[in-house]
Chains A and B, each alone.
Chain A
């Protein structure tokens, strides 16, 4: 039996963001009627296909209901009809601003299932890709967020830097957005020769660009007026709605999967988790800007400690090893088929030589263990893996029944939970603040609808 409790009286004064209107008695002032406004589904500021059914009274939002599902493409069901490798490219199309993360959770879940060992070089390349992807995602957020607030130039500047990083992605994966690069137990191909230097060049430049962005936006009176004290969330609300990522860290919670449960090689790099205590739109902005700088710090460390160094050197080393292997093979052949005028080498010597043959260290490889992608069957079981994506906690739960197709794949996207908090942040707030608050949450709709 359920007992219906009366809806809590809406007290505008208790709601965040109301401080600016203190002294104005809205409830008893104008005798206005409620009006329903449909925001979206096609709206430039919803960054996707989202419909917000909003009830407003004057400028105050009384009620808001997000209507989702316009972009539903049955991502989870698709996994059940395709082999593991066949399903992989479709993951890209869901969280298209940071799809390296989606691939990473999917691939690590399978690696945990099939018990595949991953070389360190692979993990380092994956981490570089992911951290750069975090920067591109935050750059796009920065540009569009300020565009929502009315600033046009930062959008172009952010896209210029994003383009430089996309060029790096194109060099290593062959695609600018739909990467399909990580594989079970490795990566598709090693980084091209000189790629690490290219990365270094780009990320050396970026902090100066960030300084420029901050000179434009940080203390701009319009940005400050529209962001400070707007859309404040409480710690309890965040917990109730399952909000993760920068929105949570802007409330003073240093919750970052990279620190709290380090996956990949995040325990080998030094970095801070930027937090802010205010919990408003401006705090979220500051946290994301600081996160980009931390990502650069991580990438610098990864580049310096890359096992095997640049791939040009690695190819040289591989060639030397191949040469030695050839010599040994030739010597072995001579032991068995000695020609008439030739002395056969001592079999024991050859065996010794073969023992001492140099081998590429496991950590230098780009695939831990070759798997046949067409008939790959992880053993029956289940696995869950999660990462800290630019939007928060991203998880993939995978159940295998031992066939080439997954029995069930469940995704936990950060955007969905982050969107559910929007009504509670908006009710009692000013309608014109909607775009600032919604923009600050950094939601990507295909991930909400999946």
Chain B
């Protein structure tokens, strides 16, 4: 396939006095590089006071967008639950009312087990389940990480704002 390499070359160590001198020189060069960083602008953030500038596509907390008037957008198709790689992470219970319109009784997501892959957001046919640039999700108990429909649902105007920033038609009726 390829040429066989020549036998490994033994690298001659320089004579001792030479080595000391060149060693000191090289350490000096390294230190100069390190010291040149002193005057540069800091790259770290003072986190709790300064929040990072996150991208609009950030994979953060899941949420349910609503119609502009604040009513449910979800149609209960369970596509998100089907593509979720975690078992039973998204649980949906729904029924149909007199006009055969879907009514979502329950929509629970266990954020403690969510791996933030974004599969659910991609298959949603009505652009309802989406992700927010929110990463501060720590809580004191596992139960508190299980978000129900009330926790997940955004207000009408927030949902409009989300759609505006992500290039979708802002008002949905």
Is B143 positioned at the interface, with any CB of A under 8 Å from its CB? no
Chain B: interface size category:
35 or more
Check A92/B117 contact, CB under 8 A, given A174-B131, A221-B23. yes
Among B8, B54, B119, the residue within 8 A (CB) of A278 is B8
Decide if B92 is an interface residue (CB 8 Å cutoff): no
The proximity string for A residues 69-102 relative to B, scoring 1 for CB distances below 8 Å and 0 otherwise, is 0000000000000110111111011000000000
CB-contact partner of A279 in B8, B30, B33, under 8 A: B8
Find chain A residues with CB under 8 A from B118 CB: 89, 174-175, 180, 188
Question: Is the CB–CB distance between B8 and A170 below 8 Å?
Answer: no
- Is A215 interfacial (CB 8 A cutoff)? yes
Question: How far is it, in angstroms, between the C-alpha of A252 and the C-alpha of B3 when the chains are bound?
Answer: 8
Q: What 0/1 pattern do residues 106 to 134 of B give for CB contact below 8 A with A?
A: 00000000011111001100000001000
User: In the complex, what distance in Å separates the CA atom of A221 from the CA atom of B19?
Assistant: 8
Determine whether the beta carbon of A170 is less than 8 Å from that of B55.
yes
Q: How far is the CA of A217 from the CA of B116 in the complex (A)?
A: 38
Which residues of A are found within 8 Å of B6, using beta-carbon distances?
252, 277
Report B-chain residues with C-beta under 8 Å of the C-beta of A374: 79, 82-83, 123
Chain A residues within 8 Å of B43, by CB: 160, 163
A350 contacts the other chain (Cβ, under 8 Å)?
A: no
Whether A373 lies near B122 (C-beta < 8 A) is yes
Chain A residues, CB < 8 A from B22: 219, 221
Q: Considering only CB atoms, which chain A residue lies closest to B82 in the complex?
A: A374
What chain B residues lie within 8 Å of A234 (beta carbons)?
Answer: 8
Let me know if A216 and B30 touch, CB within 8 A.
yes
Whether, in the assembled complex, B15 has its beta carbon less than 8 Å from a beta carbon of chain A, the answer is no
B57 in complex: contacting residue of A157, A192, A220, A232, CB < 8 Å: A192
CB distance from A384 to the nearest CB of B (A): 19
Q: Is the CB of A277 within 8 A of B9?
A: yes
> In the complex, which residue of chain B has the Cβ closest to the Cβ of A215?
B33
Given A86-B83, A217-B30, answer yes or no on A280-B55 (Cβ-Cβ < 8 Å): no
Given contacts A85-B83, A174-B118, contact A19 B2 (CB under 8 A): no
Q: Assuming the A-B contacts A170-B54, A219-B22, A220-B30, are A89 and B9 also in contact, with contact meaning beta carbons closer than 8 angstroms in the complex?
A: no
Q: Please tell me if A107 contacts chain B, counting CB pairs below 8 Å.
A: no
Indicate if the CB atoms of A212 and B33 lie closer than 8 Å: yes
Q: Are B8 and A178 in contact (CB under 8 A)?
A: no
Q: In the complex, what distance in Å separates the CA atom of A235 from the CA atom of B6?
A: 9
Is B117 within 8 A of A178, CB to CB?
A: yes
- Min CB distance, A223 to chain B, in Å? 9
User: Is B26 among interface residues, defined by CB-CB distance under 8 A?
Assistant: yes
Shortest C-beta distance, B63 to chain A (Å), equals: 14
A93: which B residues are within 8 A, CB to CB?
Answer: 115
Number of A-B residue pairs with CB-CB distance less than 8 Å in the complex they form: 117
**Is B1 positioned at the interface, with any CB of A under 8 Å from its CB?**
yes
Residue of A nearest to B43 (CB): A160
Known: A87-B85, A160-B43. A229 touches B10 (CB 8 A): yes
Whether a CB of chain A sits under 8 angstroms from the CB of B58 is yes
Within 8 A of B (CB), among A236-284: 251-255, 260, 277-280
Please, what's the 1-or-0 string for A14-56, where 1 marks a CB less than 8 Å from any CB in chain B? 0010010000000000000000000000000000000000000
| Interface residue B96 (Cβ < 8 Å from any Cβ of A) | no
Q: Contact flags (1/0) for A217-232 with B, using CB distance below 8 Å? A: 1011100000011001
Cross-chain contact B1 with A255 (CB below 8 angstroms): yes
Q: Is B155 an interface residue (CB 8 A)?
A: no
Inter-chain contact B59/A235, CB cutoff 8 Å: no
Report B88 CB to chain A, min CB distance, Å: 13
Most buried by A among B2, B83, B117: B117
Kindly state the separation between the CA atoms of A101 and B160 in the bound complex, as whole angstroms.
Answer: 37
For the complex, give the distance between the alpha carbons of A192 and B22 in Å: 49
A315 CB to closest chain B CB (Å) equals 9
Q: Are A373 and B57 closer than 8 Å at their CB atoms?
A: no
A373 in contact with B33 (CB, 8 Å): no
Cβ of B48 within 8 Å of any chain A Cβ, yes or no, is no
Residues of chain A within 8 A of B98, CB atoms compared? none
- From residue A426, how far is it (CB to closest CB) to chain B in Å? 17
| Chain B stretch 147-169: residues in CB contact (< 8 A) with chain A | none
Give Cα distance in the complex from A235 to B58, angstroms: 46
Query: Which listed residue, A87, A178, A212, A221, touches B115 by the CB 8 Å rule?
Result: A178
Bound form: Cα–Cα A85–B121 in Å: 13
Which residues of chain B (3-43) have a CB below 8 Å from chain A? 3-6, 8-11, 19, 22-23, 26-27, 29-30, 32-34, 37, 43
Our pick among B2, B79, B117 for the contact of A180 (Cβ within 8 Å) is: B117
Contact present for A174 and B30 (CB under 8 Å):
no
Q: Which residues of B contact A63 (CB under 8 A)?
A: none
Residue contact B119 to A180, C-beta cutoff 8 Å: yes
Evaluate contact between A173 and B115: CB separation under 8 angstroms: no
Chain A residues near B56 (CB-CB < 8 A)? 192
Please name all residues of chain A whose beta carbon is closer than 8 Å to the beta carbon of B75 when the two chains form the complex.
none
User: Cβ of B57 and Cβ of A171 under 8 Å apart?
Assistant: yes
Give chain A residues whose Cβ lies under 8 Å from the Cβ of B37.
153, 157
CB atoms of A254 and B2 under 8 A apart: yes
Q: Which of B79, B85, B116 contacts A82 (CB 8 A)?
A: B85
A19 to B32, CA, bound (A): 33
**Interface status of B84 (Cβ within 8 A of chain A):** yes
A189 in the interface, Cβ–Cβ < 8 Å? yes
The residue of chain A having its C-beta at the shortest distance from the C-beta of B6 within the complex is A277
Can you show 24 pairs from A to B with CB atoms below 8 A apart?
A83-B83, A85-B83, A85-B119, A86-B84, A86-B85, A88-B117, A88-B119, A89-B85, A90-B85, A163-B43, A170-B57, A174-B58, A178-B59, A188-B118, A215-B33, A219-B26, A221-B27, A234-B8, A252-B3, A252-B5, A255-B1, A260-B1, A277-B8, A280-B8
